[in-house]
């Protein structure tokens, strides 16, 4: 009897899944800009004697040029002997530049090609996701044939999406000459992101759409747009809503790439596929959004070929999210990251039945995450008030040592999330925890080393969004006009810093430090001794 019931439930879930996938497909996805590449088949073959033997076999659409690293030049294809010069590779499909030698030296040479076949003992490009058009191959016959087929498929005109948006005003990379956040640079498997002063720059041509940059970005400054996270969550919302309305039960959201979709054939019919370009392209705002919309479990299916750097960064995000779920009182297994071999039926605990959220997925990374978190917090039976997180988490609080802080506001000007703010009516430092990225910019810019940060996540929305006072002082008033212009600690700091300076040796000069800027200028003009130089002192000192 139980088998009949199970078969009926499976059939119902199968019908519900089909209807849900149709509903999800109806969501309009905004188009994204496309990048165009043109390759005429000019391929640089880099290697020694084996390359010399193999290069003439490339024909038809491929036009080989041999960069001979060792051996003697022979007729067959155009050859450029490397002659012991260093070699550097720049560019991408259709626009590679080979730099042979050292710039400025007599034997320096640049070569433009569309494709590169690297037959060196080890790849010349070491990033885990090299640019399109670069192929490294072992020297056995099967590998060389596979490389040839791959190169032949990259002749012609191609397009790919511009996968990301970037808002430098939100970026926590650098402020005031201090570097804080390098998460996206460190995680990018294509090495397509670099630092440029107080921002980053993404080489869209080298970007392969891995998406881990957006997943680890604490501020949402770099955003994945294939599709945008709001659109992706709307698709999930439609998927889960239609599934429930069609009578489906226990939905498990499975994030899969196009190449992984065949795993569905071996899974129960309550597994709902959500196709992604790359498994690391969706982060905690997406996972928590899916759980709040009623998914009993979210499973991220990762391929074996995922690079160690991307896998590690993704695993850290997953573990942080699982920790938050556990503190809320939900099973950590409601979010899993697994390989195809480890994907089994019903592994781990799933979410309890909750009232699905109805909010529209509007906003960016942190806003969407907090909206989903608030819903899960309201549905939780016995949540704790906060989660203590590991160092590196993008949520947390700030502590200020009142004995050290002079309220100079250096931290306020540097804070990328606007979590630190000046007080309105008196000298003071205020803090909005919901905006804190835990980037550490404040600790790096504080001249008094008065600030420390601690990662945590407050679940109570009102407390998280409440502005609280960290430190305040009474204003110091100008001794001449009475106008408030600083704090006592700032004035004392100036006295200590300038006590040995020749301009502040007289009592009158020291008293000027207690005046506002306007009164200070007037007093200097009225003081006949103000600009007299002591013996041995020059104006340039």
- pLDDT tens for residues 349-365? 999 999 999 999 999 99
Domain 36-159 has CATH 3.50.50: yes
What is the C-alpha separation between 339 and 256, in angstroms, rounded? 11
By the 8 A CB rule, do 361 and 289 touch? yes
Task: Burial-class residue 510 by CB neighbours within 10 Å (0-12, 13-18, 19+).
Answer: middle
Render pLDDT for 136-171 as a digit per residue (tens, 0 to 9): 999 999 999 999 999 999 999 999 999 999 999 999
**Residue 478 pLDDT greater than 60, yes or no:** yes
**Residue 191 pLDDT greater than 80, yes or no:** yes
By the 8 A CB rule, do 365 and 223 touch? yes
Residues forming a β-bridge with 96: 91, 113
**Residue 541 pLDDT greater than 70, yes or no:** no
What is the C-alpha separation between 486 and 472, in angstroms, rounded? 12
What is the C-alpha separation between 446 and 420, in angstroms, rounded? 12
Which is more confidently placed, 428 or 534?
Answer: 428
By the 8 A CB rule, do 252 and 295 touch? yes
CATH topology match: 162-224 vs 396-472:
yes
Across 8-22, 140-154, 201-215, 468-482, least confident range = 468-482
For residue 123, the tally of other CB atoms under 10 A from its CB is 13
Q: What is the DSSP letter of 503?
A: G
Contacts for 29 with CB less than 8 Å, ≥ 6 apart: 227, 231
For residue 36, the tally of other CB atoms under 10 A from its CB is 9
Q: What is the DSSP letter of 225?
A: B
| Mean pLDDT (whole number) for 58-79 | 86
Q: How confident is the model at residue 328 (pLDDT cuts 50, 70, 90)?
A: very high
Angle between helices 308-328 and 284-292 (to 10 degrees): 40
Peptide bond preceding 227 in cis form (omega within 30 of 0) = yes
Question: By three-state DSSP, how is residue 77 classified?
Answer: coil
| Mean pLDDT (whole number) for 286-293 | 98
What is the C-alpha separation between 252 and 464, in angstroms, rounded? 31
End-to-end CA distance of the chain: 96
CATH number of 396-472: 3.30.70.3270
Tokens of residue 445, six digits: 């810019």
Q: How confident is the model at residue 499 (pLDDT cuts 50, 70, 90)?
A: confident
Q: How confident is the model at residue 2 (pLDDT cuts 50, 70, 90)?
A: very low
Tokens of residue 183, six digits: 């998460």
Q: Mean pLDDT over all residues of the chain?
A: 92
What is the C-alpha separation between 387 and 455, in angstroms, rounded? 9
Q: Structural domain boundaries of the chain? A: 2-29+233-384, 36-159, 162-224, 396-472, 476-526
32: Cα within 13 Å, side-chain hemisphere: 20
Q: What is the DSSP letter of 320?
A: H
What is the C-alpha separation between 499 and 326, in angstroms, rounded? 56
Task: Burial-class residue 386 by CB neighbours within 10 Å (0-12, 13-18, 19+).
Answer: middle
Across 95-99, 267-271, 337-341, least confident range = 337-341
What is the C-alpha separation between 37 and 343, in angstroms, rounded? 37
* 482 Cα distance to chain centroid: 49
The H-assigned helical ranges of 26-170 are: 49-54, 141-152
| Mean pLDDT (whole number) for 229-255 | 97
Q: How confident is the model at residue 1 (pLDDT cuts 50, 70, 90)?
A: very low
Task: Burial-class residue 173 by CB neighbours within 10 Å (0-12, 13-18, 19+).
Answer: buried
Contacts for 296 with CB less than 8 Å, ≥ 6 apart: 250, 251, 252, 334, 350, 351
- The dihedral over CA atoms of 205, 206, 212, 218, expressed in degrees to the nearest 10, equals -70
What kind and span of H or E run contains 115?
strand 115-118
- What percent of the chain clears pLDDT 90, i.e. is strictly above it? 76
Contacts for 368 with CB less than 8 Å, ≥ 6 apart: 229, 230, 233, 285, 289, 361, 362
Tokens of residue 331, six digits: 């099973």
Interior CA angle at 511 toward 509 and 517, to 5°?
90
| Mean pLDDT (whole number) for 336-353 | 84
> What's the Rg (C-alpha) of the chain?
31
Q: What is the DSSP letter of 24?
A: H
**Residue 531 pLDDT greater than 70, yes or no:** no
- Among residues 529, 508, 533, which one has the least CA distance to residue 541? 533
Contacts for 193 with CB less than 8 Å, ≥ 6 apart: 184, 185, 200, 201, 202, 203, 213
Q: How confident is the model at residue 255 (pLDDT cuts 50, 70, 90)?
A: very high
Q: Which CATH number fits domain 162-224: 3.30.379.10, 3.40.50.300, 3.40.50.720, 3.30.70.20?
A: 3.30.70.20
Interior CA angle at 79 toward 73 and 82, to 5°?
80
Interior CA angle at 306 toward 302 and 311, to 5°?
80
Going from the C-alpha of 268 to that of each of 6, 250, 272, 471, the distances in angstroms are: 11, 11, 9, 57
């Amino acid at each position: 009897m139980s088998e009949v019931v199970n078969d009926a439930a499976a059939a119902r879930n199968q019908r519900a899944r089909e209807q849900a996938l149709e509903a999800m497909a109806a969501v309009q996805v905004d188009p994204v800009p496309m990048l165009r590449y043109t390759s005429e088949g000019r391929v640089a073959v880099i290697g020694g004697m084996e390359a010399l033997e193999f290069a003439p076999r490339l024909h038809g659409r491929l036009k080989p040029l041999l960069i001979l690293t060792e051996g003697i030049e022979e007729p067959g294809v155009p050859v450029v002997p490397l002659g012991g010069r260093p070699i550097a590779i720049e560019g991408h499909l259709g626009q590679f530049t080979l730099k042979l030698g050292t710039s400025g030296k007599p034997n320096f040479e640049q070569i433009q090609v569309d494709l590169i076949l690297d037959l060196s003992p080890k790849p010349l490009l070491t990033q885990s996701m090299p640019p399109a058009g670069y192929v490294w191959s072992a020297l056995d016959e099967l590998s060389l044939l596979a490389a040839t087929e791959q190169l032949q498929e990259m002749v012609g005109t191609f397009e790919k999406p511009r996968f990301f948006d970037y808002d430098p005003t939100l970026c926590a990379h650098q402020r005031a000459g201090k570097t804080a956040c390098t998460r996206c640079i460190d995680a990018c498997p294509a090495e397509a992101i670099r630092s440029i002063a107080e921002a980053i720059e993404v080489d869209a041509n080298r970007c392969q759409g891995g998406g881990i940059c957006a997943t680890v970005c604490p501020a949402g400054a770099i955003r994945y747009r294939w599709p945008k996270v709001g659109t992706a969550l709307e698709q999930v919302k439609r998927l889960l809503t239609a599934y429930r309305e069609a009578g489906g039960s226990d939905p498990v959201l499975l994030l899969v790439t196009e190449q992984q979709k065949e795993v569905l054939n071996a899974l129960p019919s309550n597994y709902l596929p959500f196709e992604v370009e790359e498994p690391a392209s969706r982060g905690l705002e997406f996972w928590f959004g899916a759980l709040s919309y009623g998914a009993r479990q979210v499973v991220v299916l990762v391929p074996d070929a995922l690079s160690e750097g991307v896998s590690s960064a993704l695993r850290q995000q997953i573990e942080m999210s699982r920790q938050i779920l556990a503190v809320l009182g939900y099973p950590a297994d409601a979010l899993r990251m697994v390989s195809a071999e480890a994907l089994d039926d019903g592994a781990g605990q799933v979410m309890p039945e909750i009232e699905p959220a109805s909010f529209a997925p509007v906003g960016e990374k942190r806003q969407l995450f907090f909206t989903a978190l608030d819903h899960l917090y309201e549905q939780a039976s016995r949540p704790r008030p906060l989660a203590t997180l590991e160092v590196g988490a993008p949520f947390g609080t700030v502590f200020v040592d009142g004995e050290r802080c002079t309220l100079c506001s250096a931290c306020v000007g540097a804070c990328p999330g606007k979590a630190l703010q000046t007080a309105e009516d008196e000298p003071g430092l205020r803090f909005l925890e919901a905006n804190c990225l835990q980037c550490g910019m404040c600790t790096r810019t504080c001249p008094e080393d008065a600030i420390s940060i601690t990662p945590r996540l407050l679940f109570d929305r009102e407390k998280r969004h409440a502005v609280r006072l960290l430190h305040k002082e009474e204003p110091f008033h100008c001794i001449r006009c009475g106008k408030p212009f600083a704090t006592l600690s700032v004035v004392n700091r100036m006295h200590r810093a300038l006590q040995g300076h020749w301009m502040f040796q007289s009592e009158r000069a020291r008293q000027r430090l207690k005046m506002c800027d306007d009164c200070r200028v007037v007093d200097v003009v009225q003081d006949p001794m103000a600009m007299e130089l002591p013996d041995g002192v020059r104006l340039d000192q």
